Amino acid sequence: MFKKILIANRSEIAVRVIRAARELGLASVAVYSEADRESLHAALADEAVCIGPAPSPLSYLNVEALLAAARRTGADAVHPGYGFLAENADFAQACADHGLTFIGPRPQAIRKLGHKSAAKALAREANVPVVPGTAGTISEGFLREAAAIGFPVMVKAAAGGGGKGLRLVRESGALEAQVRLAQNEARTAFKDGSIYIEKFIEQPRHVEIQIAADAAGGVVAFPERDCTVQRRHQKLIEESPSPAVPERTRQAMQTAAATLVRACGYTNVGTVEFLLAPDGRFYFIEVNTRLQVEHPVTECVTGLDLVATQIRLAAGEKLPFGQDRACEIRCHAIEHRINAEDPDRGFAPGPGRITGLRLPGGPGVRLDTHVYAGYTVPMYYDRLLGKLIVHGPDRPAAIARSLRALGELRVEGIPTTAEFHRRVLAHPRFRAGNFDTSFVDVLQENNGQKHA
């Protein structure tokens, strides 16, 4: 087992990893930018190192600064969290080259699965269902390929994530312009403008399977997480189990996810994402080779600690539980991403100083956050203030408890999305479990809002 872990990240995920390390008896090192000097993760860790100015390229994306901090503090492992360098194979390799254990999959697995078109090719080879589309990336013949697939289609960045480099095209006349936009956005975001085209699945749900794998070949697949409530491909609410997934489909998805990660020799934790069509068929989208923002949903449902599991697997231990234990569903859990945004102004960002804060509590309520009264939310990073995770014996109970917890939450000084979550929970379609990925757009339109 390790002695000291450096967390190459910030905010609530850094706090989460520090807590897991402390429970395992391990020392932790936080890194922070100049804008995060007063952040909770820097205060909670055993040691904290400033790695540069506020802009991410000069701090949290600065590989040399991170490696120097690890050397200076004597860390022997690095946890990347999510975002920033979490799915960067070069960073994982750099850690290995400097004698540090990267708490995640091997660099070659990140490379195999990080490129979406290559991941789809692996899925086809493993007989995992994929959305009909081009066999790989394409640089010409866009109209011919799209016509063969059949409109509407999605133009997608091959080396992407977070909704960047995605364009929906419903008719041939708009294809060329949308391809150029997707390529340009991909080059800016990922320094890789390659794209592929696939069929657009109408009215889908977004469902994912958490997996964990050890170096001895053991693989487990957890119950699904439903991430359908999202805006512009950014998830807002996640829940498990999904109200739209029967047991037979759950088992088929778990089998497909486990088959895919075995096929590429994957180790540590990860997530295999699927689209679920209205007819019940599901299609592979991508693999996230890291911990997910919504991992607490699975932790609540199963009673298992995914971050501690990550650390143990990276240290070479075998999985401490088998498939039967991993797929136990002990409750219904819902996660609400509370962002510093104003939903009534097109989800405009709302950085600033938190002048007052009241946090919810009570049975079945968990809040993962890094903020406190007096904390200033910086403008340089994502807008996530915290994740409110609520669980109950069934879905109606979890919804009722979510409403109660959201009602208790008070954040003064900046706008948040808490009231928006209450509107979602109160909507008849959400309560009935009858919604798809367009649900938030429809809700906002009906509420008279215009998106930025």
**Side chain identity at 438, as an amino acid letter?**
S
Name the nearest CA neighbour of 432 among 396, 382, 384: 396
Distance CA 92, CA 101 (A): 8
CB atoms within 10 A of CB 13: 26
Q: Residue 114: helix, strand or coil by DSSP?
A: helix
Distance CA 79, CA 102 (A): 6
Distance CA 352, CA 177 (A): 38
Two tokens, residue 389: 């995770």
Distance CA 63, CA 65 (A): 5
Q: Annotate 317-332 with b (16+ C-beta within 10 A) or e (fewer).
A: eebeeeeeebbeeebb
CB atoms within 10 A of CB 214: 18
Contact 373, 354 (CB under 8 A): yes
CB atoms within 10 A of CB 141: 12
Q: Annotate 143-167 with b (16+ C-beta within 10 A) or e (fewer).
A: eebbeebeeebbbbbbbbbeebbbb
Secondary element (H or E) of residue 186: helix 175-190
Distance CA 228, CA 275 (A): 9
**Active centre residues (catalytic):** 290
